[in-house]
Structure 1
């Protein structure tokens, strides 16, 4: 089943029947849906929710702040992390029954700089990542505040924001030391755990990236020509989709249904359809990559912000 996180809760449908999707969680905006083990977690502006039946029913885990922007499970399944707005990070070691703030994130030298006027002059922990080859490492992407890394399960932190645009929307972690950061001012990659960064979008004229995805040796990244204040024109975000067979060294623009008005904001991969890549757009459309071509699978009535196969 496909779980579709939207601006008004979560919808659920078979991938081949998206137009018949039903709402299974009524909430404010869903920032992230992620599956860890046998459970699915939804980070929303109404709280952090968990489903253990594939997305049919949901339990609010009572995170310390209502606006949860990111969620992560440690590779060993022992620690559940919740990143919030304002930018705080919490951990639970009892499946969400109790929470402890990881206060080391607040001690970083740049902490007082993390703010954006249109986000109430505050920031949020927009993305959390880890990798099984570095199980004690937690990577936090802050909108707006850069990327920061902990190598002790989140207790202490090091800034890894030098050379990186600080408006971080998503951090993809394909390898233990390799991160791909989708930012409001470019697409960046590190291969030394954030100590240095390479900008990948220098040969394209779209600079506002929201999320990247990797599967079968290929990197996918969608971008708007510029930031949201410019999206009121004839072509909306004037969005584009890029595919890369070499980890981002080259970005090839590819066509997809709805462009340039439809901006792809979410990704997942379909197990039940042989691994097809699935994308969700700002206008509520679900797209699917079949035999190298993008096609529309269906739509939900509100904008899509996250996808997950349950």
Structure 2
């Protein structure tokens, strides 16, 4: 049966959807959706085909939007998306993850919620907020946000989260108890004798490799890392990259050794493409070596950035690679990064990119 590929975009002015067939040569843009709310993360549940959007701000409040017809119509709910009275109110939902029949949401200020009815209502997984380190968590540049959500596909009780800037935390019991998993990740902005704390790292993006090995990759404010033991320890894999600083990372859908990155030129040097020349950096050996993929990408005046959730792959063969920019462009590769084509432009700032492959 033929396939349809959808690239789901969260932007500062609503959700958009790009559509193509399996050849991924011609694209059609739909949107904006979600009443042009600021959308931090638009993602799909591949088990049901439902599309969800995480959004809101101090004016609108937090909400999760939902479409069960591939984006033609949407509804939203904020029922239960609130902390106890007296706590700082939730301003927005930052991240989503669908797994094992449940939907998880990471919010600002950092916390984790779960829905068992497809986003209609939510309950707080308060074990994370009860961690002893919670009073010492400090916000990153975008605030104190839970932006990365990784649920073990083989064990619903094993969850990893990335928080700016508290670090990576892990639960093995569905969220009742949590432990920091940051050993080996440095904090260049701490005093020299405190560069490797138990928590306090500014993780930018956390992703899991396929295959069930427990391998994780982390793009951090202070380097690029790999863990082969579920985050208990981390090793630097930034050698060969043009910068230790960046935001997004995307794993190959089948090969745990293949990873895609978009490094930026540094945290205080403008946060744009190194030398203003766009490239996606790819490893085929788990970070031991890197190559820059530039074909089809602008090689002059590329002063744009790519945000932490604005890169994704699809599940086709060969895998497609997609990223969206702060200046509203979307680039796509149908050959695992070998060459890229611009498939959208002049959109609002792109906060997230995800994919959904369905039967046409």
Instruction: Give TM class, smaller chain.
Output: 0.7 to 0.9
Task: Give the C-alpha shift of residue 248 in structure 1.
Answer: 1.8
* Count of residues paired in the alignment: 305
20 and 172 in structure 1: CA distance in 2 versus 1, 3 angstrom threshold: closer
- Structure 1 moving runs of 4+ over 6 Å: 232-238
CA distance in 1, matches of 2:353, 2:273: 27
> Are the equivalent residues in 2 in contact too, given 1:190–1:198 (CA < 8 A)?
yes
Aligned twin of 2:19 = 14
Does the alignment pair 1:253 with 2:292?
yes
Does the alignment pair 1:71 with 2:96?
yes
CA distance in 2, matches of 1:143, 1:285: 26
Task: Give the C-alpha shift of residue 187 in structure 1.
Answer: 1.3
Task: Give the C-alpha shift of residue 262 in structure 1.
Answer: 3.2
118 and 13 in structure 1: CA distance in 2 versus 1, 3 angstrom threshold: closer
> Are the equivalent residues in 2 in contact too, given 1:237–1:261 (CA < 8 A)?
yes
> Are the equivalent residues in 2 in contact too, given 1:206–1:223 (CA < 8 A)?
yes
CA distance in 1, matches of 2:314, 2:113: 30
Does the alignment pair 1:110 with 2:133?
yes
> Are the equivalent residues in 2 in contact too, given 1:146–1:164 (CA < 8 A)?
no
Task: Give the C-alpha shift of residue 181 in structure 1.
Answer: 1.1
Aligned twin of 2:120 = 97
22 and 300 in structure 1: CA distance in 2 versus 1, 3 angstrom threshold: farther
Question: What TM-score comes out, normalization by structure 2 length?
Answer: 0.76
Structure 1 residues 105-144: Cα deviation after superposition (integer angstroms, max 9, x where no partner): 122233223223644xx51111101122233111100011
5 and 18 in structure 1: CA distance in 2 versus 1, 3 angstrom threshold: farther
1:61 to 64, 70, 77: 77
Task: Give the C-alpha shift of residue 23 in structure 1.
Answer: 1.0
Aligned twin of 1:210 = 247
CA distance in 2, matches of 1:184, 1:29: 24
Aligned twin of 1:304 = 350
Aligned twin of 2:41 = 32
CA distance in 2, matches of 1:132, 1:86: 26
Aligned twin of 1:80 = 103
RMSD over equivalenced CA pairs, Å: 2.6
SS of 2:260's partner is strand
Does the alignment pair 1:195 with 2:232?
yes
SS of 2:157's partner is strand
Which residues of structure 1 form unaligned runs of 5+?
none
Question: What TM-score comes out, normalization by structure 1 length?
Answer: 0.87
Which residues of structure 2 form unaligned runs of 5+?
1-5, 57-61, 83-89, 187-200
Aligned twin of 2:63 = 47
Aligned twin of 1:230 = 269
> Are the equivalent residues in 2 in contact too, given 1:27–1:44 (CA < 8 A)?
no
> Are the equivalent residues in 2 in contact too, given 1:239–1:263 (CA < 8 A)?
no
CA distance in 1, matches of 2:332, 2:170: 33
> Are the equivalent residues in 2 in contact too, given 1:29–1:44 (CA < 8 A)?
yes
Does the alignment pair 1:170 with 2:191?
no
Task: Give the C-alpha shift of residue 270 in structure 1.
Answer: 4.4
CA distance in 1, matches of 2:144, 2:7: 30
CA distance in 2, matches of 1:232, 1:104: 35
Which stretch of the first structure deviates more once superposed, 283-292 or 135-144?
A: 283-292
Does the alignment pair 1:262 with 2:304?
yes
- Between Structure 1 and Structure 2, whose CA radius of gyration is higher? 2
Which stretch of the first structure deviates more once superposed, 42-51 or 206-215?
A: 42-51
Which stretch of the first structure deviates more once superposed, 211-220 or 135-144?
A: 211-220
CA distance in 2, matches of 1:87, 1:192: 25
Aligned twin of 1:295 = 341
CA distance in 2, matches of 1:213, 1:203: 18
> Are the equivalent residues in 1 in contact too, given 2:248–2:262 (CA < 8 A)?
yes
187 and 239 in structure 1: CA distance in 2 versus 1, 3 angstrom threshold: farther
- Higher strand content, 1 or 2: 1
